[in-house]
């Protein structure tokens, strides 16, 4: 689809406020409301604009974010790993990764104290020769992210103007400090089944009205009106505007792991993103044991400069290219069935977190091992 100036203007406006009404949109881009409606509907129909999604804070729900990098023996094991991720109740995200080896990068949001079950799961996968190795990293609860600044994109030349060495150099200017880690909520007595249902729907489509949320969740409208603002305030960290990133040449996604990264360098990166973020989607997760994870989606033309600048500024770097251009990645919705509302605890056992996911992928594993 060839975009007009008005289409770019619509995307710029919605990138700032995904909930902007058509009347507000028409005023901002200076076209009649009927034209704004027509252009918006066409962009939605063509898949350029997608539904915004809610991103929840795992710590607000008593969960812990962990990252797992796996190395696979060959391409045939990808399907098994992806099936396993879908079967596992605590998967947040998974994607294929490429670099020196083919593998799968997975994010889990797990109950506190259950890392042992994740380790047990992946040790079993090594024994079954589905993976050759794995590495687990834990978030310490300090994260920040920035979203693409579409105003920095030159539609005429289809290019972004940004110089990574200059940005990294500015990190040295301010003596910074890291914020305190997010406190993991341990008392979930106020978390209700209605809130769980609403959060599940919002992580799939955050643009729904109260009436639409009521229909989708099967909850009474008055209940949704009461619980919806509580869910947004307590559990939702951000609303992410979703659109076809190819329009802006944002097609290269990279994750960079750094280890033995001192606190000063961690703080400089964190505050640099907060104060003067690069114009791309960029996420920084401060991990335990002096590790960091940087996740970035940018134009291919920027990728080599970013990688080189990282090598110069971040010690012990490991870089992986993510397959986000095909069906090789998936963001999973919040899954309220993981929570036992009677005991007010997350379901956490070897059976639930290890045995059942393995059993669900048994047939796929058998086919690989033949």
Span 57-80, pLDDT tens digits: 999 999 999 999 999 998 889 999
Mean pLDDT of 339-358: 96
State how far Cα 6 lies from the chain centre.
Answer: 29
DSSP one-letter code for 20: -
Place of tokens 């009474």: 220
Least confident of 5-14, 168-177, 306-315: 168-177
- Cβ pair 143, 283 in contact under 8 A: yes
When pLDDT is cut at 50, 70 and 90, the band that residue 132 belongs to is very high
Give the three-state DSSP class for 108: strand
**How would CATH label the architecture of 5-47?**
Orthogonal Bundle (1.10)
Mean pLDDT of 109-116: 96
Give the three-state DSSP class for 17: coil
Mean pLDDT of 326-354: 93
- The per-residue pLDDT for 212 is 96
First to last CA, the chain: 46
Q: Tell whether the model's pLDDT for residue 366 goes beyond 70.
A: no
Longest CA span, the chain: 63
Contacts of 28 (CB under 8 A, 6+ apart): 9, 13, 20
Alpha-carbon separation of residue 264 from 149, 165, 182 (angstroms): 27, 18, 19
When pLDDT is cut at 50, 70 and 90, the band that residue 246 belongs to is confident
> Mean pLDDT for the chain?
91
User: Between residues 100 and 298, which one has the greater pLDDT?
Assistant: 298
Q: What angle do CA 313, 318, 320 make, to 5 degrees?
A: 120
Q: Tell whether the model's pLDDT for residue 365 goes beyond 80.
A: no
Helix axes 5-16, 33-45, angle to 10 degrees: 80
Q: Tell whether the model's pLDDT for residue 364 goes beyond 90.
A: no
When pLDDT is cut at 50, 70 and 90, the band that residue 261 belongs to is very high
- The per-residue pLDDT for 325 is 67
Give the other-Cβ count within 10 Å of 366's Cβ: 10
- The per-residue pLDDT for 307 is 94
Q: Cα–Cα distance between 170 and 152 in angstroms, integer?
A: 19
Q: Cα–Cα distance between 10 and 17 in angstroms, integer?
A: 10
- The per-residue pLDDT for 157 is 85
Contacts of 259 (CB under 8 A, 6+ apart): 289, 290, 291, 315, 316
Mean pLDDT of 117-133: 96
When pLDDT is cut at 50, 70 and 90, the band that residue 221 belongs to is very high
Q: Tell whether the model's pLDDT for residue 370 goes beyond 60.
A: no
Q: Percent of the chain scored above 90 by pLDDT?
A: 69
- The per-residue pLDDT for 327 is 67
Query: How is the chain split into domains, by residue range?
Result: 5-47
Full DSSP string of 155-223: TTTTEE---HHHHHHHTTTS---PPPPPPPP---TT--HHHHHHHHHHTT-TT--HHHHHHHHT--HHH
At residue 237, what are phi and psi to the nearest 5 degrees?
-85, -30
Q: Cα–Cα distance between 278 and 49 in angstroms, integer?
A: 23
- The per-residue pLDDT for 337 is 97
Q: What confidence tens digit (pLDDT) does each residue in 21-56 have?
A: 899 999 988 889 999 999 999 999 998 999 999 999
- The per-residue pLDDT for 369 is 60
Q: What confidence tens digit (pLDDT) does each residue in 263-311 have?
A: 999 999 999 999 899 999 999 999 999 999 999 999 999 999 999 999 9
- The per-residue pLDDT for 19 is 86
Q: Is 116 exposed, middle or buried (0-12, 13-18, 19+ CB in 10 A)?
A: exposed
Q: Tell whether the model's pLDDT for residue 316 goes beyond 90.
A: yes
Alpha-carbon separation of residue 198 from 209, 235, 241, 342 (angstroms): 12, 11, 19, 19
Q: Cα–Cα distance between 324 and 204 in angstroms, integer?
A: 18
- The per-residue pLDDT for 174 is 64
- The per-residue pLDDT for 326 is 62
Q: Cα–Cα distance between 166 and 164 in angstroms, integer?
A: 5
Q: Percent of the chain scored above 70 by pLDDT?
A: 97
CB-based burial, 252-266: b 16+ in 10 Å, e otherwise: bbbbbbbeebeeebb
């Amino acid at each position: 689809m060839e975009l007009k100036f008005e289409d770019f203007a619509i995307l710029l406006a919605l990138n700032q406020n995904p909930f902007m009404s058509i009347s507000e949109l028409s005023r901002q881009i200076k076209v009649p409301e009927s034209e704004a409606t027509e252009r918006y509907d066409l962009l939605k129909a063509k898949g350029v604009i997608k539904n915004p999604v809610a991103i929840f804070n795992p710590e607000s729900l008593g969960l812990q974010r962990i990252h797992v990098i796996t190395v696979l023996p060959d391409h045939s094991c990808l399907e098994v790993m992806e099936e396993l991720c879908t079967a596992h109740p605590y998967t947040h995200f998974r994607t294929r990764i490429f670099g020196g080896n083919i593998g799968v990068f997975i994010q889990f949001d797990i109950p506190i104290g259950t890392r042992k079950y994740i380790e047990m799961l992946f040790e079993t996968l090594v024994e079954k020769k589905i993976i050759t190795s794995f590495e687990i990293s834990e978030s310490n609860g300090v994260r920040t992210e920035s979203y693409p600044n579409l105003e920095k994109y030159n539609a005429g030349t289809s290019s972004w103007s940004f110089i990574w060495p200059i940005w990294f150099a500015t990190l040295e200017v301010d003596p910074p400090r890291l914020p305190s880690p997010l406190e993991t909520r341990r008392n979930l007595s106020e978390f209700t089944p209605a809130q769980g249902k609403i959060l599940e729907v919002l992580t799939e489509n955050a643009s729904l009205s109260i009436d639409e949320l009521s229909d989708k969740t099967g909850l009474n409208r008055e209940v949704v009106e009461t619980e919806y603002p509580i869910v947004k305030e307590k559990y939702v960290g951000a609303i992410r505007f979703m659109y076809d990133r190819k329009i802006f040449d944002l097609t290269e996604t990279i994750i960079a792991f750094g280890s033995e990264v001192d606190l000063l360098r961690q703080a400089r990166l964190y505050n640099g993103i907060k104060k003067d973020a690069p114009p791309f989607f960029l996420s920084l997760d401060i991990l335990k044991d002096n590790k960091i994870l940087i996740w970035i989606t940018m134009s291919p033309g920027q990728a080599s400069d970013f990688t080189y600048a990282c090598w110069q500024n971040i010690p012990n770097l490991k870089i992986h290219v993510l397959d986000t251009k095909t069906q090789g990645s998936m963001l999973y919705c919040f899954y309220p069935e993981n929570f036992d509302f009677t005991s007010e605890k997350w379901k956490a056992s070897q059976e639930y977190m290890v045995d059942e996911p393995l059993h669900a992928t048994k047939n796929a594993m058998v086919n690989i091992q033949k």
